[in-house]
Amino acid sequence: MNILRSESGLQIDLDDEGETERLGQALADVLAPNVVVALVGPLGAGKTRLSRAIAESLGVDPGAIASPTFVLIHEYEGRMPVYHIDVYRLTSPAEFEDLGPADYWKAGGVCLVEWADRVRNLLPADAWWVAIEPLDASSRRVRIDLPEASPRLSDRLMAALTLDSDDPDRFDAPDAAT
């Protein structure tokens, strides 16, 4: 895993699915209630895999997690609720709005929105943007753009990425949105 800072967040090169899992754990460590994570990338980029890693790290039962492509919104219980939304099959932003996603933005959980670029103008201004670019069959480049109002968030995410995931002192910070 290679991590670089950018003006708006981090750029992370992932070599394999195990590193995607680590990224999901790190994101879960710094996510707080009412955060919307906007996931973008081409088909097969790893949006659902990263969503699954985040949800599992938030204590969601791995057997319960499914791709929301056909059921457009999945709600999961964990240490905090996880709302997993997939926009892929929707034909317009109006269809997305009809689902009532804004009801989830401040519902006390984490919202993971796949294909978020299709509804960019309907997401909260402080959404975290995660763009996944496949480099080859197993490696990915991930760009994470974080809200300007949370300048320390990049530092916290960097720290979470560099912690050993088996370390018992790995932090769990439900109030980590700042």
| pLDDT digit string, tens, across residues 122-156 | 999 999 999 999 999 999 999 999 988 677 899 99
Interatomic CA distance for residues 151 and 155, integer angstroms: 8
- CA-to-CA dists, residue 169 to 18, 55, 106, 140, 164, angstroms: 20, 20, 30, 28, 9
The phi, psi pair for 80, rounded to 5°, reads -145, 155
Please name the amino acid found at residue 145. Answer: D
Residue 169 has pLDDT above 70, yes or no: no
pLDDT value of position 176: 43
Residue extents of the structural domains in the chain: 2-147
Alpha helices by DSSP H, listed for 106-149, are: none
CATH of region 2-147 = 3.40.50.300
CA 112 to mean position of chain CA atoms: 5
Pick the closest to residue 145 from 167, 121, 169, 128 (CA basis).
128
Sign of the Cα torsion 36, 107, 163, 156 reads positive
The H-assigned helical ranges of the chain are 17-30, 47-57, 93-98, 102-105, 153-162
DSSP helix/strand/coil, 169: coil
For strand 128-134 and strand 140-145, is the pairing parallel, antiparallel, or unpaired?
Answer: antiparallel
- In the predicted model, what is the mean pLDDT of residues 41-64? 94
Give 173's pLDDT tier (boundaries 50, 70, 90): very low
